[in-house]
Amino acid sequence: MKILITGAKGQLGQTFSDVFAGHNLILVDRDELDITDLEKVENYVEAKKPEVIINCAAYTAVDKAEEEPEIARKINAEGAENLAKEAKKINSILVHFSTDFVFDGKSDIPYSELQTPSPLSIYGKTKFEGEKMVFAVGGRYFILRTSWLYSQHGKNFVKTIAKLGLEKDELKVVSDQIGSPTYTYDLAFAAGDLISQANSSKLKADSLFGLYNYSNDGECSWFEFAKEIVKLSGGKARVLPQTAYEYATSREGVTAERPAYSPLNCDKIKKLGIKTLPWQESLAKCIEILKSNKEPGSRNLTKN
């Protein structure tokens, strides 16, 4: 397949580049393609004619988005809409990513695709707006809501805590926000499975497209997540709990409000035979790669 990956230099983009390595990849970052510029997107997509567009470009600085709402909106909402329009025009599959931050965290059970979002932050609001724009454009698209992403690429919570756990005697981590950590490679394999099913099920493909939740199985607080990271990575730091309020008041600048409880119900995607591994198992895999600097490998998807 010819696959266009936007945001290719980011954590998610690098992951997809690894997993889809056996395909004809077109890798672009903002320098090569500004997804907020519709004319540039039109010209680029129509010239390249990819069969699949995977949108890994996003504004993910949750706190900074509170001070830059228009920039976050242009990337997370308008950029998604631009790609959706061009994907529909050339009949390619669009894979777009959203977040558990579209919810307000007031539920006491994992959120399903049927529950109405009510985001608390600018980041969450712009990601939800992006979802709605992709939906309004229509076509052959998958929106994957996910949560607490990490990998061996880029900057993320796992790499930060693993490093600090080796350097510090003590770490304070938020204990009253609950979610589901998700390894980006598991997410990429799930996206690949969706694409393969859509390509191999011509008669039923239209019913496959739409919104799906995907995260690793299980839930934990950031505090519990950090304790497991330090343990697996061989750190000696004591991990201590703190409240979200204590965290916010200890920082300079604006701190965005985050959902207190945001695990995702992944039953819909599981019904397609797509597995969701326990978060502890996937974390252990990532930590081993980080410790040994091993390449994560790739898995070629079925060509159609």
Domains of the chain: 2-292 (3.40.50.720)
Residues known to be catalytic: 123
Q: Which residues of 66-92 are buried (b: 16+ CB within 10 A; e: fewer)?
A: beeeebbbbbbbbbbbbbbbbbbeeeb
pLDDT value, residue 156? 94
* pTM, rounded to two decimals: 0.91
Separation CA 120–CA 297 (nearest Å) = 37
Task: Collapse the DSSP code of 273 into the 3-class scheme (helix H, G, I; strand E, B; otherwise coil) and give the result.
Answer: coil
List the alpha helices (DSSP H) in 75-221. 79-90, 122-137, 157-167, 184-200, 205-208
**Strands 210-213, 170-174: pairing kind:** unpaired
Separation CA 200–CA 136 (nearest Å) = 26
- Residue 208's contacts (CB-CB under 8 Å, 6 or more residues apart) are 194, 197, 198, 201, 272
Q: Which tokens hold the place of 145?
A: 């809501």
pLDDT value, residue 297? 52
pLDDT value, residue 302? 40
Q: Give the E-state strand segments of the chain in sequence order.
A: 2-6, 24-27, 52-55, 93-99, 141-146, 149-150, 170-174, 178-179, 182-183, 210-213, 220-221, 238-242
Shortest CA distance to 281 belongs to which of 238, 237, 236, 232?
232
Based on its alpha-carbon atoms, the radius of gyration of the chain, rounded to whole angstroms, reads 19
Shortest CA distance to 199 belongs to which of 97, 299, 302?
302
- Chunked into runs of 10 residues, the chain (304 residues) has average pLDDT values of 94 94 92 94 95 96 94 97 96 97 96 96 97 96 97 93 93 96 97 92 72 97 96 94 89 85 97 95 94 63 40
